[in-house]
Amino acid sequence: MFEKLIPYDAAYLILGDYVNYHHEYKRITKRAKIRFEQRDWLGVQADSRDRVTLYRDKVGETTEKILAFLGDRANDPDTWREIKLMFLEEILNFNSRNIAETYFNSVFRHSHKGLSIDKDLMFVVATGNYREFKSTVPIFHTFFVLEPYEHTIRQLLACYPFDAEYEDLERDINYITDTLQHKLNTLRYTPRNVRIEMIKSMFFRNKGAYLVGRLVVDDRYFPFVIPMLHDERGIYADALLLDINDVSSIFSYNRSYFLVDTDIATELVDFLQTITPTKSLSELYNSIGFEKHGKTVLYRDFLRHLELSGDKFVIAPGIKGMVMIVFTLPSYNMVFKLIKDNFPAPKKVTEKEVKEKYELVSLHDRVGRMADSHMFEHFVCERHRFSDELLEELLKEAPSKVRFVDDKVEIRHLYIEKRMIPLNLYLEKATLEEAEEVITDYGRAIKQLAAVNIFPGDMLLKNFGVTRLKRVVFYDYDEIGFLTDYNFRRLPPARDYDDEWASEPWFAVGENDIFPEEFPRFLIGREDIRQIFQEKHGDLYDAPFWINVQERLRNGELFDVFPYRKRLRFKNVYGKDGGWR
């Protein structure tokens, strides 16, 4: 009887499911504070994983509903055009309108398998700047910094109550005050023009709660971030971070997403960008848990960049991989990776297994050492933007994933992630001092991955990258696995001279057997760098190191891996007398 209302009803079906998703998303997020107070670290990690899978689960449910509701109209473009218009009318005054648009896009893509991006039927281009929505009250507390500073810091901490005791609140107030005083002493400023603005919501990840804000000095912004920890003695402030690079590392694309409660994500992202100016909007949406909208923002940014640039996609520099084709647009700071159709020996993984590895990384604690990536299906770009060499490589190594449609190239499945300098290329040009810094961090990266039960499998330098902050990050996942699934062994002694020089091992080797004593033979080429690594991380060459980590993991221990430099921790800054070191 009211057939013309079908698009409206369909739009509201999607919108209703989005609202339910958003409610469950916020409920998981709000649990984080309770988990922190109860020191339920496994619960925090489980919630982080559940929140990532919640989106895809809800989109899947909505897709089934919408296909059943539309029936024969499910593939009719005119119907979907009307649904989009009806949906837009309903969300125009939503404070989370941008996130709702992304949810609609996901449902549309899941309803139209094999279809590339459709600007007419999807919210490919933003329908507004979303900044027309402002909280009725600010999302941050404001504290004017007046002497004595202790009063300001005490007032600040009082705004973040916990249902658990502090270990020593007065000590923490003194540490924060003293650190603030040292920062202000380095600046020329007008005493009356100093204030601290703190986001009202706390940020939670793993074992930490973060009070995130900014120090405003004569209209200049500096980060003001207090990591809070909770052990058997109580809650305590672990540091005060006032440097952009330190805070940038906390919000890195190589880390798991924060659990932070927010109503208007654009306001939170705008605030964060004032203290992490090197971060893109996409990265910041990812960091606060809206990774699907981060993907939308990334794609929109990519389209704008294509319009403003003219260079061609080329094969990425470095040693070609056996599993992935990696290419880049020189003027853009991302890399594009697609899985080859066939892998040469000795690779034994399948395409399905490689995708599962990427899925594992997306759900696991990346501990600042594994690159985040976005997966795109049916990725389309104009053919003239591809170099001839790259097109030849794509057609040779992955013909099933590439097709030409008129003057465009469509790639069936690829990953996009932040571009880094491959570690092996970095070391080729590095001074000894630069090499020592990154090779030390390379060993630290392997150990921190082990601490969260990850073994890279292939630890060659070419599989790691160096970030802007000279941090070493792993990005080749085809051989990644859980550390506890491997059997670390020492090499059995040779029985005779023939054993020593045999081309094949004289002992049985299982599929998951690892012999760390063999690592020095292939990990590092340069002798001077190899020696540095031996001095800093020689324990990686011995099976007992790995076995010890495995035992601790199996006993349920959660290792402490801090997303900021250890020398900034108050315990390392202050001596027993509480004085500045």
Residue with tokens 């999302």: 139
The residues pairing with 214 across neighbouring beta strands, listed in sequence order, are: 197, 223
Q: Choose the catalytic residue: 47, 365, 372, 458.
A: 372
Please say whether the dihedral angle defined by the alpha carbons of residues 505, 507, 513 and 517, taken in this order, is positive or negative.
negative
- How far apart, in Å, are the Cα atoms of 410 and each of 324, 405, 429? 17, 7, 36
User: Regarding beta strands 140-144 and 194-199, do their DSSP bridges make them parallel or antiparallel, or are they unpaired?
Assistant: antiparallel
Residue 226 DSSP label: E
Residue with tokens 């601290």: 196
With H, G, I as helix, E, B as strand and everything else as coil, classify residue 42.
helix
Q: Taking the CB of residue 367, how many other CB atoms lie within 10 A of it?
A: 21
- The one-letter amino acid code at 549 reads V
Does the active-site annotation cover 372? yes
Rg value, the chain, Cα: 26
Contact 97, 133 (CB under 8 A): yes
Q: How far apart are CA 555 and CA 438, in angstroms?
A: 32
If we measure between CA atoms, which residue out of 410, 419, 235 comes closest to residue 327? 419
If we measure between CA atoms, which residue out of 434, 441, 431, 514 comes closest to residue 479? 514
If we measure between CA atoms, which residue out of 254, 281, 252 comes closest to residue 268? 281
Kindly report the three-state secondary structure assignment for every residue of 94-128: CCCHHHHHHHHHHHHHHHCCCCCCCCCCCCCCCCC
Sequential DSSP letters for 287-302? HTT-HHHHHHHHHHHH
What count of Cα atoms within 13 Å lies in the side-chain half-sphere of residue 464? 28
Q: Give phi and psi for 203, each to the nearest 5.
A: -105, 130
Cα 479 to its chain centre, rounded Å, is 20
Burial 188-222 (b: 16+ CB within 10 A, else e): eeeeeebebbbbbbbbbbbbbbbbbbbbbbeeebb
If we measure between CA atoms, which residue out of 157, 159, 164 comes closest to residue 39? 164
The residues pairing with 179 across neighbouring beta strands, listed in sequence order, are: none
Q: Give phi and psi for 241, each to the nearest 5.
A: -100, 120
Q: How far apart are CA 297 and CA 546, in angstroms?
A: 40
Residue 484, token pair as written in the block:
């506890």
Q: Taking the CB of residue 224, how many other CB atoms lie within 10 A of it?
A: 24
Q: Taking the CB of residue 90, how many other CB atoms lie within 10 A of it?
A: 15
Residue 511 DSSP label: T
Q: Give me the active site residues, please.
A: 372
